[in-house]
Every structure is written in C-alpha cells, then in structure tokens.
C-alpha cells in the first residue's frame, strides 16, 4: 500500500473481525455476502471508480464481487487466490480444512468463517465476468495458486496472469512488494488509457 499511496488513493478495508474492525459474537454475520455488502458500502462512500485489490481471501472476495456485481469497479487485482470450488465435496473439504486451521488465521474463530464457501458462484460465472482482472501468483507459494491463476486466465474473458518469480504467499509484504506494486501500477495505467 505504501508504494502505491503516492500515486493513488489507497484504502484498506478491514473485514469484520479482522484488523481493527469489531468482533461481534454473532457467527451469522461472518459471511461472504456480508463482506461484499461492506465492500459496496465503501465503494459508495468513495463515489468514484475504483480497482479492488485482494490477497488470498480478499482476492476471492474481489472475484465474488465481480461475479455478483458486474461493472461495479474498473478492475480487480487478485494475489495468490482461487475461484472456489464447483464440486461440493471439494468445497466441503476446503471448509473443513478452514475450520480446522482457524486458529492459524490470527483472527477470532468466528471471523474465520468468512473463509468458508457456501456455493460455487464465482466458478459458475467466470465465463461471463468481463471485469478487467490482473491475477498475480507467486511461484514459490503453493502450486495451486499458480494453477488457479492459469485457470482464471483461461476462463475469464478479461483476465491476465502474471507470475512473480520467487514470490511466496505474502509476496506483497516481503522483498517482492515493489514488483507487486509495479504490476498493479501498470494494470491501473492500462485501465485508465
């Protein structure tokens, strides 16, 4: 964020139960659709075209936003993320792994429910998602993220994959931050051209 702030207005949205956001004791609040509503609220407050940038869960939410709200943003950038699962058994395996590893997310267990997937809305709509999309994947992260990036590039009409050599899962916060920021800057320049 710091590398882009001099050139753009950059805001970070704390998901419910993350960062400095409140942590209500109501598990039903921690849903994808609730997070998408929060994104809508922020975009309405901005009142100007925006590019959503999301990492991992945030990347999935950016994809879900583009899938369910076509034309709401200028573009999206997703880092080390995937589109979810069409197969219910694979989706439930993901959800079970997310529940089992909730303690590792650094958020209260109920907030980790945001990582659960209830349907395949992103997968089902990839072919009709025309929002310009930059997919960044680190080749030193888990191989499924590069594979997901390749899949998104094949299935989405306006998606482009860029693999960051040596990039790990948190590549936007480590020695690859400048490369990630430069890729985002180039994408935004192309959108504005």
CA atoms within 13 A on the CB side of 19: 7
Rg of the chain (C-alpha set) = 16
Q: What is the pLDDT of residues 90-149, one digit of tens each?
A: 999 999 999 888 888 788 888 888 999 999 999 999 999 999 999 999 999 999 999 999
On the question of pLDDT at 164 being above 90, the answer is yes
Mean pLDDT, the chain, as a whole number? Answer: 94
**Segment among 17-21, 45-49, 72-76, 122-126 with least mean pLDDT:** 17-21
- As a whole number of angstroms, the distance between CA 67 and CA 63 comes to 6
Q: Identify the residue whose tokens are 């753009």.
A: 8
What pLDDT does 51 receive?
98
Q: What's the confidence (pLDDT) of residue 23?
A: 87
DSSP labels, 60-88: HHHHHHHHHSTTSSSEEEEES-----SSH
Reading the block at residue 188, the tokens are: 């935004």
Give the whole-angstrom CA distance, residue 40 versus residue 96: 29
Which pLDDT score is estimated for 176? 97
For residue 84, what are the CA distances in angstroms to 11, 93, 99, 168, 173? 25, 11, 16, 20, 24
Torsion of CA 119, 124, 128, 134, to 10 degrees: 70
Helices (H), 47-176: 57-68, 88-100, 121-125, 143-155
Domains and CATH numbers, the chain: 2-192 (3.40.50.1820)
Q: What is the pLDDT of residue 101?
A: 87
């Amino acid at each position: 964020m710091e590398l882009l702030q001099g050139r753009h207005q950059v805001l970070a949205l704390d998901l419910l139960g993350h960062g400095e956001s409140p942590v209500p004791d109501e598990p039903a609040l921690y849903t994808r659709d609730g997070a998408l509503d929060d994104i809508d609220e922020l975009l309405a407050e901005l009142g100007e075209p925006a590019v959503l940038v999301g990492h991992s869960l945030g990347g999935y939410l950016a994809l879900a936003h583009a899938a369910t709200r076509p034309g709401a943003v200028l573009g999206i950038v997703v880092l080390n993320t995937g589109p979810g699962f069409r197969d219910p058994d694979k989706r439930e395996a993901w959800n079970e792994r997310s529940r089992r590893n909730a303690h590792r997310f650094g958020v209260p267990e109920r907030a980790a429910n945001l990582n659960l997937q209830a349907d395949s809305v992103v997968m089902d709509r990839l072919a009709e998602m025309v929002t310009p999309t930059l997919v960044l994947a680190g080749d030193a992260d888990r191989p499924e993220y590069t594979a997901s990036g390749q899949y998104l590039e094949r299935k989405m009409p306006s998606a482009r994959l860029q693999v960051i050599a040596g990039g790990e899962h948190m590549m936007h916060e480590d020695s690859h931050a400048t490369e990630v920021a430069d890729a985002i800057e180039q994408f935004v320049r192309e959108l504005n051209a």
